[in-house]
């Protein structure tokens, strides 16, 4: 039975080559777009899934240059201390800073690490803790 349907399908594809090609390209394009949209949505929804971070916020800075406003996800280092002094609601702060590629040496092994992030020691007070096995 399946063999018969397969024969009919192949004959139809060969009889209407242009129409079949157009349909197959449309199907492939639709599937590719659906997969890309799915991956994008999954990536965007993966943020803020850490439990215990309901009261964790990031300070953003908007810089106005004439009529242009540029939003940055970074701020000046003294902002953390100023926020703790000015706002009693701020319980603790943590500052992060990225670094340029860094040469790491462990024993005889040397390698460049490109994704280094420095943090204050108060990061353990501000962010939730995980089990030591993680």
Q: Is the pLDDT of residue 19 over 90?
A: yes
Q: Is the pLDDT of residue 132 over 70?
A: no
**Do 66 and 108 fall into the same domain?**
yes
Q: Which pLDDT score, from 0 to 100, does residue 131 have?
A: 59
Task: Quickly state the pLDDT bin for 125 (edges 50, 70, 90).
Answer: confident
Task: Quickly state the pLDDT bin for 76 (edges 50, 70, 90).
Answer: confident
Residue pair 116/102 in contact (Cβ under 8 Å)? The answer is yes
Position 114 in a domain: yes
Q: Is the pLDDT of residue 94 over 70?
A: yes
> How many domains does the structure of the chain reveal?
2
Intra-chain end-to-end CA distance of the chain, in Å: 54
Q: Which pLDDT score, from 0 to 100, does residue 38 have?
A: 98
Could you tell me which residue, 85 or 98, shows the higher pLDDT? 85
Could you tell me which residue, 119 or 27, shows the higher pLDDT? 27
List, as own/partner pairs, every contact residues 51-58 make where C-beta atoms lie below 8 angstroms and the sequence separation is at least 24, other chains included: 51/128, 52/128, 53/127, 53/128, 55/91, 56/126, 56/127
The answer for residues whose C-beta is within 8 angstroms of residue 127's C-beta and 6 or more apart is 50, 53, 56, 94
Q: Is the pLDDT of residue 30 over 90?
A: yes
**Do 40 and 76 fall into the same domain?**
no
**Do 30 and 84 fall into the same domain?**
no
Q: Which pLDDT score, from 0 to 100, does residue 26 have?
A: 97
How much is the pTM?
0.50
Position 51 in a domain: no
**Do 39 and 88 fall into the same domain?**
no
Position 37 in a domain: yes
Average pLDDT, the chain: 86
Q: Which pLDDT score, from 0 to 100, does residue 3 have?
A: 93
Residue pair 51/128 in contact (Cβ under 8 Å)? The answer is yes
Per-residue pLDDT of 41-60, as tens digits, reads 999 888 767 677 777 888 88
């Amino acid at each position: 039975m399946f063999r018969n349907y397969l024969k009919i399908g192949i004959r139809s594809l060969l009889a209407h080559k242009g129409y079949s090609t157009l349909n197959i390209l449309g199907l492939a394009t639709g599937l590719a777009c659906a997969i890309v949209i799915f991956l994008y949505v999954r990536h965007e929804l993966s943020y803020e899934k850490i439990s215990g971070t309901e009261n964790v916020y990031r300070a953003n800075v908007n810089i106005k240059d004439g009529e242009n406003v540029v939003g940055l996800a970074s701020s000046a280092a003294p902002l953390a201390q100023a926020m703790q002094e000015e706002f009693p609601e701020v319980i603790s702060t943590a500052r992060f800073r990225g670094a340029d590629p860094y040469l790491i040496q462990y024993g005889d092994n040397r390698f460049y690490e490109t994704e280094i992030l420095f943090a204050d020691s108060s990061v353990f007070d501000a962010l939730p803790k995980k089990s030591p096995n993680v």
